[in-house]
Amino acid sequence: MKEKKPAVKKPEKRKGLYRTRELHVMLVPAVVFTAIFSYLPLFGLVMAFQEFKPLLGFRGSSFVGLKQFQYIFTMPSFKTAFVNTVIIAFFKIILSILVPLVLSLMLNEVTKNWYKRAVQTIVFIPYFFSWAILAGMILEIFAYDGIINNALNALLENERIAFLVSNQYFRSIIIASDVWKGMGYNTVLMLAAITNVDAALYEAAQVDGAGRWKQVLHITLPSILPMVAVLTVLGLGGILNAGFDQILIMYNPTVEKTVDILDTLVYRMGIAGRQYSAAAAMGLFKSVVSIIFVGISYLILYKKSDYRVF
């Protein structure tokens, strides 16, 4: 009898990158888009160290070292814009986390699913609109003859406030409207984190006699802390991004003292004033500060809670 030869295993054809080739092909447009619009412009940072002349280009423009940075740091408008940027960005970051956190905890206690879905939809709608639309609505609402002033006039008799040209109120309107626009998105993220909390923890707490408030305080909040930490770290990365598109649309010269930020200053210098090198230096300064804040916040997060973002 002939001995049967042992079956030879055929090598798998779909291994490594070949197995997920469709996914990598789908990534190609995103990689190309990122390379063109995120990495290629980095070469333009050389303008921050030059006296850049568009007709001469990068090679023909003279190298001036740190002269542009010395120039922007001594500008009175830079100091004002820097302080405004930090104040607006700080309150936006804090409130964009606290407001969705409170709203998500409240929605989690709602027992009527139809009501919960309706509220989620309503608060999520502003997130899909651009500031070109929302800014027009806000400007109409807070106009001197808008809804708010008409209500004040009816209640207090001939009492109207010029919200849009008042340094006392305009910064608060900027911050509150940005929080209102983005709170729906962050609320959904936090609700998703809450739904992933193990139900057995709540059952055990009920057996021990814990009420709803103690369950929220000792179970829900600690369980969604990683999500809150991630949102905080990502927010700190944009500590000097106070909302250029929003402020540019709603901005007017009378409130320059309280809402003029670095981005609007860069816009005026680079586009209107054609001071390309100074604008590039200011942009580089913003990037460096953002990287430092991200690194510090990530390090603190890792040391205190042993939680890794990446």
CATH number of the domain residue 252 falls in: 1.10.3720.10
243 by Cβ neighbours in 10 Å (0-12 / 13-18 / 19+) ranks as buried
Give domain status of residue 226, yes or no.
yes
Number of domains in the chain: 1
Give domain status of residue 63, yes or no.
no
Domain with 243 in it: 76-259+293-305
Give domain status of residue 266, yes or no.
no
Residue 239 CA to residue 263 CA, distance in Å, equals: 12
Q: Which two tokens stand for residue 40?
A: 């290629």
Give domain status of residue 189, yes or no.
yes
pTM of the complete model beyond 0.85: no
Give domain status of residue 150, yes or no.
yes
Give domain status of residue 238, yes or no.
yes
Residue 283 CA to residue 242 CA, distance in Å, equals: 14
Give domain status of residue 132, yes or no.
yes
Q: What is the number of other CB atoms lying within 10 angstroms of the CB of residue 4?
A: 6
**Per-residue model confidence as pLDDT tens for the chain (310 residues):** 455 555 555 555 456 677 888 888 899 999 999 999 988 888 888 888 988 888 888 888 888 888 889 998 988 888 888 999 989 988 998 898 899 988 888 888 888 888 888 888 898 899 998 888 898 899 888 888 888 888 888 887 767 888 888 888 899 999 999 999 988 888 888 888 888 888 888 888 888 887 888 888 888 888 888 778 777 777 777 777 778 888 888 888 888 888 888 888 888 888 888 888 888 898 889 888 888 887 887 787 777 666 665 5
Give domain status of residue 97, yes or no.
yes
